[in-house]
Amino acid sequence: MKRDYFDSEPRSNEEIDGKPCRTCVDFKTWAKLTGKSGAKRGKNCPLDKDQLGRNTWSFLHTMAAYFPDRPTDEQQRDMKTFINLFSKFYPCEYCAKDMQVDIANDPPKTGSRSDLSLWFCNLHNKVNKKLGKPLFDCSKVDQRWFHGWDDGSCS
């Protein structure tokens, strides 16, 4: 059965069509759920929740870093539309619904590159807090995603 992103019925965070969802759990959990606890992760396997999250945040932060300093009204609308649609199509339904709630409570700030970068950093920190992960110092967002670290390690 094909997964329909527009189903109104929420599905289990751990199962899609009766199978554990790879993008909803880490690889070790997925392996246990599927009875493959001795499985080793290969190079070219579908992403698990952790890999998908890291790659997604890298993309979103980099995209924000290259957003215009003075975006047009159209660019601002397009970015807001992108973020809203992104939150609907994110492969982990639990994460997608959580992001939808977060952006409804704190809509994207698209007035400038800096506004968008800080908005994504704060959103990422909200997720990190929920997951018990360390928070990032958002005053360093340009160093991390745009200019490179002041110590020259990215030069």
pLDDT tens digits along 100-137: 999 999 999 999 999 999 999 999 999 999 989 999 99
- Is 80 within a domain? yes
Number of separate domains in the chain = 1
- Is residue 34 one of the residues assigned to a domain? no
Q: Tell me the CA distances in angstroms from 16 to 19, 36, 132, one per residue in order.
A: 5, 18, 26
pLDDT greater than 70 at residue 23: no
Are 153 and 86 a contacting pair, CB within 8 Å?
A: no
Does a structural domain hold residue 57? no
- Establish if 72 belongs to a structural domain: yes
Q: List, in sequence order, the alpha helices (H) in the chain.
A: 27-33, 49-65, 73-89, 93-105, 113-131, 141-142
CA-based nearest residue to 13, from 3, 23, 27, 28: 23
* DSSP type of residue 2: -
Entry pTM = 0.77
CATH code where residue 123 lies? 1.20.120.310
- Residue 79 belongs to what domain range? 62-147
81 in any annotated domain: yes
Say if 115 falls within a structural domain: yes
**Collapsing DSSP states into helix, strand and coil, what is residue 151?**
coil
9-18, 26-35, 108-117, 140-149: least confidently modelled range: 9-18
Q: Phi/psi of residue 107, each to 5°?
A: -60, 155
Q: Report the pLDDT averaged over residues 2-23.
A: 46
Rounded mean pLDDT of 53-76? 97
The one-character DSSP state at 118 is: H
